[in-house]
A = this chain, B = another copy of it.
Amino acid sequence: MPVAGNIAPRKRRAISRSDIVLVSSTMFQERGYDRTSLEDIARALSVTKPSLYYHFASKEDILLECVRVSYVKFRGELAHRDNPLLNGRMRAEIFLRLYLEVISQDMGVSMVIADDRVMSPSGGEQYLAWKRELNNDLESRLKAGIQDGSIDVSETHLTSFAIFGMFNWVAQWKVSGNSFSVDEMFERFTDVIFNGIGGRR
């Protein structure tokens, strides 16, 4: 099973699963999952549609793989950056910073734009499970922050949703031409979330 990184370039250029995932996630993000046909993807890769079926069982499979790859990447990098000695607020910030970085990339955005309604029951369940994991992770960081005093909020569940909403929505404007850097978005978002925008009463 040849993977990417062959030393000797083959005469016959073979596309890999990761090629497909990369191109697909970009197109899903630009045009939407429903409006991206397998022929579009195949054409972008200079192959034909049945070639895609050699590598993937279905269109949904491609989408799920896009999400899985990004999710695994996120988890791995998070484990790397995380530090259990830090307080809850800082660990929440680490989480959110990485989350923003990932969903700002073409590939990572599939984590956000995927829709369990277009998926098979098992696929949808898998996708929802990943989302739930992320929610739970952020929520537990918030709770830790409440414990150690670095965060002050009366409830974590809806708060976590609110925060995710704010971040996830960037996937929506990316497409409308609005482009901000990850740095300025993170700066602004966390300022709103942690400091609030209220002035003197």
The main secondary structure of chain A at its interface with chain B is helix
Residue of A118, A128, A146, A161 with most partner-chain B CB within 10 A:
A161
Q: B173 contacts A158, CB within 8 Å?
A: no
Q: Nearest-CB distance from A60 to chain B (Å)?
A: 13
Q: List 15 A-B contacts (CB under 8 A).
A: A31-B117, A34-B34, A117-B175, A153-B197, A161-B178, A162-B166, A162-B189, A163-B166, A165-B172, A166-B169, A192-B193, A194-B196, A195-B196, A196-B197, A196-B198
Question: Interface segment, A14-22, A40-48, A67-75, A180-188?
Answer: A180-188
Q: A198 and B152: CB pair below 8 A?
A: yes
A159 to B149, CA, bound (A): 26
Most B CB contacts (10 A, CB to CB) among A158, A167, A168 go to A158
Given the known inter-chain contacts A35-B117, A166-B162, A189-B162, please indicate yes or no for A195 contacting B198, CB distance below 8 A: yes
Q: Report yes or no: A151 in contact with B199, Cβ–Cβ below 8 A.
A: yes
How far, in Å, is A93 (CB) from chain B's closest CB?
A: 11
Q: Which residues of B contact A116 (CB under 8 A)?
A: 176
User: Quick check: B199 and A196 within 8 Å, CB to CB?
Assistant: no
Chain A interfacial residues counted at CB < 8 A: 53
Not counting A165-B169, A168-B169, a sample of 20 additional A-B residue pairs whose C-beta atoms are within 8 angstroms of each other reads A32-B117, A34-B34, A89-B199, A149-B199, A149-B200, A150-B198, A150-B200, A151-B199, A152-B199, A158-B185, A159-B188, A159-B197, A161-B173, A161-B178, A162-B166, A162-B189, A165-B167, A165-B168, A165-B170, A195-B198
CB distance from A158 to the nearest CB of B (A): 4
Chain B residues closer than 8 Å to A201, beta-carbon distance: 150
Contacts of A198 in B (CB 8 A): 89, 150-152, 194-196
* Nearest CB on B from A200, distance (A): 5
Q: Find chain B residues with CB under 8 A from A130 CB.
A: none
